[in-house]
């Protein structure tokens, strides 16, 4: 078991209590950091004594905050990731809401993996969930639903106006 304590008379918000850094040699043989796990004080001034866990990974030579887990159970992931193999251009490739619903209802993990929501693993349970594509799919479903509602409304207004004009013609006779 490993325990680390920080004794501070006045800890500040976001203070790292413990951090574990992953280092290794780069292509030139220099020691470089590749990632860091942080255990932090969320905000000691609010009397909640809440903690926070973060993962930072090095991207292009600088630390990138990838994940935050609050003591309240709120999980936040960096949604800025793009362009990787698992990042499917969801709005163009799928009727997002319908295909996602089908994949979830039928527990069709292969379909969800093809969509980029799940990633196939070589070991263990077989799949990992990719949060960013799932969020994009959900947002796409909301966007598509809103677009469908607007298009349906416009079509109904056009039809009602057509019926009103026909009724006016009939009444005028």
Give one DSSP letter per residue of the chain, joined into a string: --------SS--TT-EEEEEEEEEE-TTS-EEEEEEEEEEES-GGGT---EEEEEEEEETTEEEEEEEEETTS-EEE-TT--SSTT---HHHHS-HHHHHHHHHHTT-HHHHHHHTSEEE-SSTTSEEE-HHHHHHHHHHHHHHHHHHHHHHHHHHHHHHHHHHHHHHHHHH-
What pLDDT sits at residue 6?
Answer: 63
- What band does 83 get if pLDDT is binned at 50, 70 and 90? very low
Please indicate whether residue 137 or residue 37 has the higher confidence score (pLDDT).
37
- Residue 93's pLDDT band, with cuts at 50, 70 and 90, is low
pTM of the model: 0.52
Asked if the model's pLDDT at residue 88 lies above 50, the reply is: no
Domain boundaries, the chain: 1-78, 81-173
């Amino acid at each position: 078991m490993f325990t680390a304590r920080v004794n501070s008379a006045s800890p500040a918000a976001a203070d790292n209590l413990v951090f574990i850094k992953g280092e290794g040699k780069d292509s030139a043989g220099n020691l470089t950091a590749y990632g860091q796990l942080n255990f932090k004080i969320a905000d000691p001034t609010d009397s909640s004594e809440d903690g926070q866990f973060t993962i930072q990974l090095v991207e292009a030579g600088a630390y990138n905050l990838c994940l935050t887990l609050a003591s309240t159970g709120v999980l936040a992931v960096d949604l800025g990731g793009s362009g990787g193999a698992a990042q499917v251009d969801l709005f163009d490739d799928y009727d997002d809401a319908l295909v996602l619903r089908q994949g979830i209802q039928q527990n069709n993990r292969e379909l969800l993996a093809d969509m980029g929501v799940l990633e196939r693993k070589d070991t263990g349970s077989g799949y990992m969930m990719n949060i960013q594509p799932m969020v994009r799919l959900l947002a796409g479903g909301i966007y598509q639903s809103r677009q469908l509602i607007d298009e349906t409304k416009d079509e109904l207004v056009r039809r009602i106006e057509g019926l009103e004009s026909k009724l006016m013609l009939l009444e005028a006779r």
